[in-house]
Structure 1
Amino acid sequence: MSRKAFTAEGAVAVGPYSHAVESGDLVYLSGQTPIDAATGRLVEGDISAQTEQCFKNLFQVLAAAVLTPEHVVKVNVFLTDMANFSAMNEVYKAQFSEPYPARTTIGVASLPLGAQVELEMIARRGR
């Protein structure tokens, strides 16, 4: 099976992976950490700033696949400190409208480059 991959300007890959891969009607977006593409470094600031940058990166990937946040059906959130859940959730809530995508939030020991948060998505074409 060949993969149809999408690469987004302004989103950074820190390893050998595609920003997104399409399979049928589904588009799987790789996890994005809060890297500012202009500097190649993590954004300065708290969990809110880092979560906003993750969404900025992911929404650029969605746009490269000709999709919008309305196409997102599932989000996985990885936090290095579950005490940041409420602040992350406030930023998250502002990114989508109801009904919200399904979501899983997982506490992890660490993330690439010392990030506090990483987000990944699954989007669906059509309807």
Structure 2
Amino acid sequence: MIMRHLKTPIMHRIVEANGILFFGGIAADDMSLDMAGQTRQVLEKLGTYLDEVGIDRSQVVSANVFVSDLALKQEMNAVWTDWFGDALPARATIGAGDLGAGTLIEIVVTAVRER
């Protein structure tokens, strides 16, 4: 069964298929923030989306992190590791160049609903 959650004009933020949850790209709302601030804001939004479907951050199994400048990766890593703690997902960090005006980071994650 496929379930769709949090519809926007162009997508559903979360699509669930057979217990696997796919989250569309998440970016910060405040583009004036530095990398640490945008990362924190993105992860807070992810937390809200996880709550919406009744799971928690320990169920995030994979992430693709798109950053506009790989030189800022360490700032992102500090917030990332603090937020996930010991439940770090598998991850790739991709230098994406232009993510849009002021956007420093966008993440796409996959989570699982444990049965």
TM-score (norm 2): 0.91
- Write out aligned runs for 1:9-28 (5 A): 13=8, 16-28=10-22
Residue 34 of structure 1: CA displacement?
Answer: 0.3
Bigger strand share: 2
Which one of 37, 49, 53 corresponds to residue 49 of structure 1? 37
How far apart are the structure 1 equivalents of 2:47 and 2:23?
A: 10
**Alpha-carbon offset, residue 106 of structure 1:** 0.1
Deviations 1:47-67 (A, max 9, x none): 000001111111111111111
Shift of 1:117: 0.4
| Counterpart secondary structure, 1:110 | coil
Count of matched residue positions in the alignment of Structure 1 and Structure 2: 115
Q: Tell me, what secondary structure is at the counterpart of 2:55?
A: coil
Provide runs of 4+ in structure 1 moved above 4 Å: none
2:66 corresponding residue in structure 1: 78
Identity between Structure 1 and Structure 2 (%): 28
- Deviations along 1:1-47, whole A, 9 cap, x unmatched? x7411128xxxx5x501110001010001111001xxxxxx243210
CA distance in 2, matches of 1:57, 1:21: 16
Give the alignment's Cα RMSD to 1 decimal: 1.8
The answer for unaligned runs of 5 or more in structure 2 is none
**CA 1:107–1:32: 2 relative to 1, 3 Å:** same
Relative distance call for 1:110 and 1:7 in structure 2 (3 A) is same
